[in-house]
Amino acid sequence: MDLVLLDIDSRGVATITLNRPERLNAINMEMRDLLWQHLGACRDIPEVQVIVFKGEGRCFSAGADISEFGTAPSVMAARQARHERDVWDALLHHRCTTVAAMQGYCFGAGLELPLLCDVRIAAEGATFAVPEVSLGYIPSAGATQTLPRRVPPGVAAAMILTGEPIDAPAGLRWGLVDLVAAPGGLDSAVEQVVAQALNGGEAAIQARRQRMIAGAGRGSSRVDDTEPVSFDRGPATTRPPVALGCLLAAAVAVAIAGIFTFVAVFLDSGANSGKLTLEPAEAYDVGYVEYLSDDNIFLVRLRNGEFVALADMDAANRDAQSRRCRVALVAINEAATAISAETLRSRLSAGAEGSTSVFREACFGAVYDLAGTRLDADGRNLDRHPVGVNSAGRVIVDTSKRECSERTGTVSSVAVSCSP
């Protein structure tokens, strides 16, 4: 079975499907070559007007197959192969309208491919990230350029600098995706968009597409974040723009990192005296989890209808700012602790019963339920900010205050001091 499938229907709609579900559709070199071939076929078959990208199984794609990193015969061979079969540039400048149907993990190249599409439709529960930055890699398919063009600069910077994921509602709010489909409704939502894209016939489709590319300034740009740095030491006067660009880029990166560290410490210290005014309460479903990256907190609506706002760093580690032990939302079956998933479920606190997800802390693997209660051992619970609903029905989070507690045996909410 091919790792990337191509199907063209009678309307001129091509469906390209990543077909490696046992590896979460991780994109290897064979798949990249097939993507190149299929994009070329869609370009050369005049009847094809719309391309839909899908992922087989429970996720769109977990990204590039890291087991192939560094396996090219040489840097020059890798560079030549990229330029001879530049999948991303071919997609960016393709004559067809492109639509991405995104479910589950959309990480790394699994996010960068949709970012090069015209329309992105996400299933409820989809998550988006460029986690390769945590391994020291630059996103290889243009995310450093495409993310700032899709989402607010602060959101793009947070995603690119930290690799932290965001969920579908946040992606919709920030413009990363154009639509979040109702549960089980991804295919029908995609079909509706495709039908709209086909309106007007071939000439109209082509005209819209070409004018959109030209208007966005995409006609002369290449997406290429993987140009290897040259260490050739020729005369300094032959490469001043590159040298200057590298210095400026390094200075900007250091400045941004410093700003982010300051903001994180400022928030974690409780010095922020502001109150966040969010959406009306009825906009949040039971079990809803949203990461508010600008404020480093998770907003959760529990099973009992209450809201909690959880700090994304274990309070016990707040005295080690350089470590930044963040927490991430994971499925309870994937919490990866010495304690079984059944035991974790039995320890869920009031309001979090029935949840299928938990928070896992990055440094030591501590596990917390959606109410912030430590599940895997005694110890500090996640800090909480007071949450209320104002007279207009909007959710208010008071970031100037913290509620701190700990788990001791069967007692899970003993109040403790919030100071480190």
When mean pLDDT is compared across 163-172, 255-264, 273-282, the lowest value belongs to 255-264
Q: Is the pLDDT of residue 165 over 70?
A: yes
Euclidean distance between CA atoms 172 and 396, whole angstroms: 21
In this structure, the chain runs to a length of: 420
Torsion angle in degrees (nearest 10) through CA of 335, 337, 339, 341: 20
Place 291 in a pLDDT band, splitting at 50, 70 and 90: confident
Question: Is the distance from CB of 145 to CB of 225 less than 8 angstroms?
Answer: yes
Rounded mean pLDDT of 179-188? 93
- 301-315 pLDDT tens trace: 998 889 999 987 755
pLDDT at 105 over 50: yes
pLDDT tens, residue by residue, 372-383: 999 988 988 999
Q: Is 132 a catalytic residue?
A: yes
What value does the mean pLDDT take over residues 115-133? 92
HSE at residue 164, side-chain half, CA atoms within 13 A, is 26
Quick one: what percent of the chain has pLDDT higher than 90? 37
pLDDT for the residue numbered 14: 97
Set out the domains of the chain in order of their start, with CATH numbers.
4-215 (3.90.226.10), 275-415 (2.102.10.10)
Condensed to tens digits (0 to 9), the pLDDT of residues 199-233 reads: 877 766 776 776 666 555 443 333 434 333 332 32
CB atoms within 10 A of CB 95: 15
The residue from 132, 164, 403, 406 that is catalytic is 132
Q: Residue range 153-179: average pLDDT?
A: 91
- pLDDT, tens digit (0-9, with 9 covering 90-100), for 315-366: 545 555 455 577 888 888 877 677 888 888 888 988 888 888 888 887 778 8
Averaged pLDDT score across all residues of the chain: 79
The amino acid at 387: V
Q: What is the pLDDT of residues 15-55, one digit of tens each?
A: 999 999 999 999 998 999 999 999 999 999 999 999 999 99
Q: Please state, for a pLDDT cut of 70, what percent of the chain lies above it.
A: 75
Residue 83: pLDDT band (50, 70, 90) is low
Encode pLDDT of 223-272 as tens digits. 434 333 332 323 333 333 444 454 455 554 544 444 444 333 333 333 34
116 neighbors 91 (Cβ within 8 angstroms): yes
Instruction: Give the per-residue SS3 of the chain.
Output: CCCEEEEECCCCEEEEEECCHHHCCCECHHHHHHHHHHHHHHHHCCCCCEEEEEECCCCCECCECHHHCCCCCCHHHHHHHHHHCCHHHHHHCCCCEEEEEECCEEECHHHHHHHCCCEEEEECCCEEECHHHHHCCCCCCCHHHHHHHHCCHHHHHHHHHHCCCEEHHHHHHHCCCCEEECCCCHHHHHHHHHHHHCCCHHHHHHHHHHHHHHHCCCCCCCCCCCCCCCCCCCCHHHCHHHHHHHHHHHHHHHHHHHHHHHHHHHHHCCCCCCEEEEEEHHHCCCCCEEEEHHHCEEEEECCCCCEEEEECECHHHCCCCCCCCEEEEEEHHHCCCCCCHHHHHHCCCCCCCCCCEEEEECCCCCEECCCCCECCCCEECCCEECEEECCCCEEEEECCCCECEEEECCEEEEECCCCC
- The active-site residue out of 112, 164, 290, 406 is 112
Tokens of 233: 């030491």
